[in-house]
Amino acid sequence: MPARADDVPATAEQSRTPLLLVGTPTDFTTTIAATLSKAGYAPVPAQLDDIPASAIAAPPPAILVLPPVLDRVDARIPVEDFIDALDAILVPAGLMARDLVARRGADQGTRIVVLLDSAVTGPAHNTVAAAAMGGLLGLARSWALEFAPLLVTVNVVVIGFDPAADPGAPRLPHMLPQPDVKAVAHAVAFFLDPRAASITGQVLSVCGGRLASGLPL
């Protein structure tokens, strides 16, 4: 069983739990992967539109879908480009779920965690990211319902801050300090844990209170 996502000694490679990391890595998500590695997972990178045949043949017990990396684009975007952007994210996400979970049939506890960024709450001037993150949220919640009979759980962790974009942001007195990347990894590890077998379809914001009420559930 994987350990807590803290600084714990790495386990032997053969006892580590394979973790498919799906999406384009960033410094932030790379740090999450490193933290999860210390917690007993063996991350295997993959692209959303290019899942390795080996993973399809033998799906890993843990899957972490990384948030797509998107430019900030407002509502003036040509509709054709908007649709292309959504197709590029939502279509392969659905096919990934089909190939790694649905076609596998009766399952014994795959854990899927979908990481989203705060664009899911609908920030201003961010049409494409809001739609993409919202779409992934709808997929994740639907997968949770459809895959529950397969004993597969699907949960969402919302990254409620962007330390790279605003490293010097002052602490707001009515909120907790800015959470760091390890706090996000800890939430991911919680949902991946085999003991979280009856938790599915949930959305957890790791935000220090900054997204409170920002995402109606």
Partner 1 sequence: MIQERQALNGGSVLVTGVASGIGRSIALRLIADGYAVLGLDIDPSPPPGLAGFEAVDITQPAEARKALAQLLAAHGAVLRLVNNVGSSRRENVIDSSGDTQRWLNRLNLGSALLCLQAVLPGMREARFGRVVNITSRAAMGRETRSAYSATKSALASLTRSWARDFAAEGITVNAVGPGTINTDLFSRNNPPNAPDVTRLREGVPMRRIGEPEEIAQAVSFFLDTRSSYITGQTLYVCGGLSLGAVSPAGNGPPLDDAIAPRP
Please return the burial class of 54, using the count of CB atoms within 10 Å of its CB with bins 0-12, 13-18 and 19+. exposed
Of residues 45 and 123, the one with the C-beta less far from partner 1: 123
DSSP notation for 15-54: GSEEEEEES---HHHHHHHHHHHHTTEEEEEEBTTB--HH
Those residues with Cβ within 8 angstroms of residue 104's Cβ, 6 or more apart along the chain or in another chain: 59, 110, 150
Q: Which of 8, 54, 87, 212 binds partner 1 (CB under 8 A)?
A: 87
Q: Is 139 among the residues that bind partner 1 (CB under 8 A)?
A: yes
Q: Is 74 among the residues that bind partner 1 (CB under 8 A)?
A: yes
Residue type, 89: I
Q: Which of 66, 136, 188, 192 binds partner 1 (CB under 8 A)?
A: 136
Q: Which of 77, 199, 204, 211 binds partner 1 (CB under 8 A)?
A: 77
Q: Which of 3, 16, 61, 82 binds partner 1 (CB under 8 A)?
A: 82
Q: Which stretch binds partner 1 (CB under 8 A): 113-121, 174-182, 191-199, 204-212?
A: 113-121
CA distance 192 to 110: 8
Closest CA to 155 of 165, 167, 144: 144
Q: Which of 48, 131, 181, 192 binds partner 1 (CB under 8 A)?
A: 131
Return residues touching partner 1 (CB under 8 A).
74-77, 79-80, 82-83, 86-87, 90-92, 94-95, 97-98, 101-103, 119-127, 130-147, 201, 216-217
